[in-house]
Structure 1
């Protein structure tokens, strides 16, 4: 298996480079054979590389960046005023072919804007989409897109998201013909606005997509669909609502379990016997959203990710780079465009 070279934006995220370097150290200690271009400010990153004994490691190369995109910075401002940021340099390494992918936990809007202008979309792709994996009740993963890259979409854009998501699920989950659905306010054909209805017609008429109809929000985790398509406004709210509910459930459960020693004892007993199920549901395992539709692999890590979660984002980038996901999406989109003519 060929070596993958990733450009890592070490300055992004709420916790800065300490989380990034810790994650790299864990991956290298686990035996990953890949190479990492660590991009960041010299004074912030090199002491950490030295602390983790990575300063002279053959799998790590440090690349200095003068500027940093702040987490609350406006995308347009970051695009114009920060051409030498760690985020920009990481994307430039990918654009030049010196890296096979980019991972950043930085400002989401800035990353999308910079990636769009520095890498461009694949031929025929109208807009990139932010896509993430969700655990489902069948023991696998379903993919939801868009998660916020495009607040509003026309029917053709939603159709393309379905095509790209189908390719991603086929490759990343080894599903021969992924079920693709549109997220809607009901499963009946009469439900939804004109954009969603027209997108449904486009998906249903394409031989390149296994379209299975509408799904409602309560089926996000059911496994009914391998790919769930919506615009970024709906997708972002749906995902954040799920995250908020998960936090509420965990907090309430902890509060109840800590209220009596017998409950605590029972929880320890139960946890040992359900460890695999607990592990599969941990958010750390699903950190790393893909910006698909671009001419390169770009993974957005959650800004508040810990080292283990950031490591998951890096693994996602490695998987997509090895599978040559952008090239596979390009081939499918070209087939779809030929179908239209």
Structure 2
């Protein structure tokens, strides 16, 4: 069980996309709010990012920034005031332009920009816990695996080698994992990093994710992690935001939704995998959480 992978897999849909740009001169591009997560990596040079709230972040060579909630923002060659932001060019149109001042081979800044498609209707709380902007600066000796992924991704996007159609989405997925992992390692005081560093709560989460179909109860889970029911309930609820059995129900149905999206498995098989004794029991619980039946949900996401 890898809870970070589970949290990402629970909300990820479709394939990620990316664009590599070399830009020069004076430029300013706007990215509108997006139902997913966006990222920028500075491969060479530097630039500025301004969020909708007005916060400005300077991005230097090797820096990576993740916008996990798809927040609108502007990227530019220099700090942008309100008037400049209002005149910013739409990113999609700007990135496709052949104008020398927008996509010049002689530009001094090279960017890797991309998006992940995410289903935000039932986001895992770990992903919801992420701030609007996750800035991972390039520092020697920090997050070496993220640096390696950035180097590989930059080379892959710039090439047309055999197998790129498979390698590129896989590297983009790896980048997202490493960005979330780097945020968790930065000493953040957010709830979920604390949950995964608490030995009792982390072990309980491990058990529920490892085998959600097991006949878990508060007593059995507390015995599994070696604490009293009261201790487990107090620590788990404080750090996770839900009581253990409430979290288990939510996770079972979230897993069922992911299986409906990504597999052709019959409902009875999915019910058994996520801990429901019959398809009817799963359908009843699923309809309460998602507001629709499993069959209609599957038809809607695969249409």
Same fold (TM over 0.5): no
Q: What TM-score do the two structures reach when normalised by structure 1?
A: 0.26
Report the structure number with the largest CA radius of gyration.
2
